[in-house]
Structure 1
Amino acid sequence: MNHTHLRIGPHRFCRTHRIHGSFLLLLLLWAAVFAVPGTPCAQAQEVPATAVARIALLPETRQAVGTVRPRTETRIEAQITARILEIRAQSGSRVNRGDVLVVLDTRELETLSGQAQQGISSAAAATRQARQALAAAEAEFVKAEAHYRRIRTLYETGTVARSEMDQAEAAYAQAEAEVRRARDGVSGAQSAESRAGKMREQAQIALEYGEIRALDDGEVVRREAEPGDLAFPGKTLLMLQTGGSLRLEAQVREGLIGRVRPGTPLSVIIGSLSDAPLTGTVEEVVPAADPLSRTFEVRVGLPAVPGLYPGMFGRLLIPVGESETVLIPAAAVSRVGQLETVRVREGEQETPVYVKTGRTYPAGQSGTYDEVEILSGLRGGETVVLEAGHAR
Structure 2
Amino acid sequence: MRRLLFSIPLAFLAACADDGAETPPPVRPVMSVVATAASPLDIGFAGTVQPQVSTPMGFRILGRLVSRPAEVGDLVARGQQLAAIDPTSLELAVRAAEADLAGARAQLADAESTAARTRVLRAGDAASQSVLEQADLGRASAQASVAKAEAALAKAREQLSYSTISADYDAVVTSVDAEVGQIVSAGETILTIARPDLRDAVVDVPLSAGTVAPGEAFSVALQVAPDVTVTGTAREVAPQADPLTRTFRVRIALADPPDNFRLGATITAYRRQAGPKTITLPLTALREEEGRSYVFVVDEAKGEVARREITVASRTGALFVPAGGVEEGERVVTAGVGALTDGQKVRLSAGENR
RMSD over equivalenced CA pairs, Å: 4.4
Q: Alignment partner for residue 102 of structure 2, among 82, 98, 121?
A: 121
Within 5 Å, which residues of 2 pair with 1:1-392?
Answer: 59=39, 66-144=47-125, 175-253=128-206, 256=209, 258-267=211-220, 270=223, 273=224, 280-286=231-237, 288-289=239-240, 296-302=248-254, 303-304=257-258, 306=260, 308-310=262-264, 316-318=269-271, 320-321=275-276, 376=331
Can you list the C-alpha shifts for 1:254-276, whole angstroms capped at 9, x where unaligned?
56553544141245675xx4788
SS in 2 for 1:320: coil
What is the rounded CA distance, in whole Å, between the counterparts of 2:163 and 2:115 in structure 1?
A: 43
Residue 249 of structure 1 aligns to a residue whose secondary structure is strand
Structure 2: which 5+ residue stretches go unaligned?
1-34, 281-302, 306-328, 334-349
Q: Following TM superposition, by how much is the alpha carbon of 1:221 offset from its aligned partner in structure 2, in angstroms?
A: 0.5
For the residue of structure 2 that corresponds to 1:193, the secondary structure is helix
User: In the aligned structure 1, how far is the partner of 2:204 from the partner of 2:330?
Assistant: 26
Contact 2:216 2:233 in 1 (8 A): yes
Name the amino acid aligned to 2:331: S
The Cα shift of 1:129 comes to: 1.8
User: Contact 1:73/1:243 (CA < 8 Å) preserved in 2?
Assistant: no
Judged with a 3 Å threshold, the aligned counterparts in structure 2 of structure 1 residues 375 and 178 are, in CA distance, closer, same or farther, namely farther
Whichever residue aligns with residue 105 of structure 1, its letter is: D
Describe the superposition over 1:214-264 as per-residue Cα deviations: whole angstroms up to 9, x where unpaired: 233221100011112334542221111223353223343556553544141
Amino acid aligned to 1:176:
Q
Q: TM-score, normalised by structure 1?
A: 0.52
Distance 1:65 1:278 in 2: 14
Shift of residue 281, structure 1, vs aligned partner: 1.6
- Which structure would you say has the larger Rg? 1
Distance 1:137 1:324 in 2: 98
Q: Distance in 2 between matches of 1:377 and 1:292?
A: 27
Task: Please give the TM-score of this superposition, normalised by the length of structure 2.
Answer: 0.57
State how far apart, in whole Å, the 1-side matches of 2:112 and 2:80 are: 49
Q: Distance between the aligned counterparts of 2:109 and 2:159, measured in 1?
A: 30
Distance 1:72 1:323, change over 3 A: closer
Letter in 2 for 1:119: D
Alpha carbons 2:213, 2:237 under 8 Å: kept = no
